Amino acid sequence: MRLLVLGVGNPLFADDGLGYCVVRGLEECSSRPSCVEFEAVQALEPGLVALFEGRDHVVIIDIVDPRMLPPAAKLLVVELDPNRLSSSEITGAIVSTSSHELNPASLAVLARASGLFNGRVTVLGVPGFNIELGGRVSGEALQALPVLVRELSSRISRLCGEEIVVDMECFWRIVSRECSVSHGGAGASPG
């Protein structure tokens, strides 16, 4: 099993940076199985398909519109299997994809179409409430992070057959450093 965890987001835009910050926190604060690699990027772009090469599974952490989640849900989980697409569906997806408006699903299709990737993709979506330039990460988004870490840890254990151990105190310190997280209250270390 070769697993990639790809955290996406720009920390300059508050909640938008959470995928990036979470992966940076996990890189520095976890002992993880050898089958897992972490990569933090600030934007999705077509060149990222190279990271998919030879992977069995890719987990993408990004923010999502909170309206996509059911009431009281803190995390959106979407499973994608680009291998189930027909040639015409892949062609249609590529033709309609703009390199300026790439999303996790279109990146997975591009990776599959390139011949570099035959695996599965899981998108873990954290609700983004504040994407203001220079803004602070919202308390609502921060409250989703413990749920995200538990879900990701469970997936890694299931896929790799080994546990990932996360030092949560270290994790929150790195997330606070990498993203604009308020200190005190909900922003210090929810969960």
CA-based end-to-end distance of the chain: 31
**pLDDT tens figures, 30-56:** 998 999 999 999 999 989 999 999 999
Average the pLDDT over 57-73 and give the result: 92
* Residue 136 lies in domain: 3-187
Instruction: State residue 95 phi and psi, 5-degree precision.
Output: -60, -35
Q: What span, in angstroms and rounded, lies between the C-alpha atoms of 135 and 187?
A: 13
Find the CATH number of the domain harbouring 109: 3.40.50.1450
How high is the pLDDT of residue 189?
A: 45
Mean residue pLDDT of the chain comes to: 88
* Contact indicator for 61, 7 with CB cutoff of 8 Å: yes
- What is the pLDDT at residue 97? 58
- Model pLDDT for residues 105-144, shown as the tens digit of each residue: 888 888 888 889 999 999 999 999 999 999 999 999 999 9
Chain centroid, CA 55 distance in Å? 16
Task: Look at the chain and report how many structural domains it folds into.
Answer: 1
Distance CA 50, CA 175 (A): 26
- One-character DSSP codes across 146-189: HHHHHHHHHHHHHHHSS--EE-HHHHHHHHHHHTT--SSGGGT-
String of DSSP letters for 58-118: EEEEEEE-GGGSPTT---EEEEE-GGGS-HHHHHHHHHH--TTS--HHHHHHHHHHTTS--
Q: For the segment 82-97, what is each residue's pLDDT rounded down to a tens digit?
A: 778 776 766 666 666 5
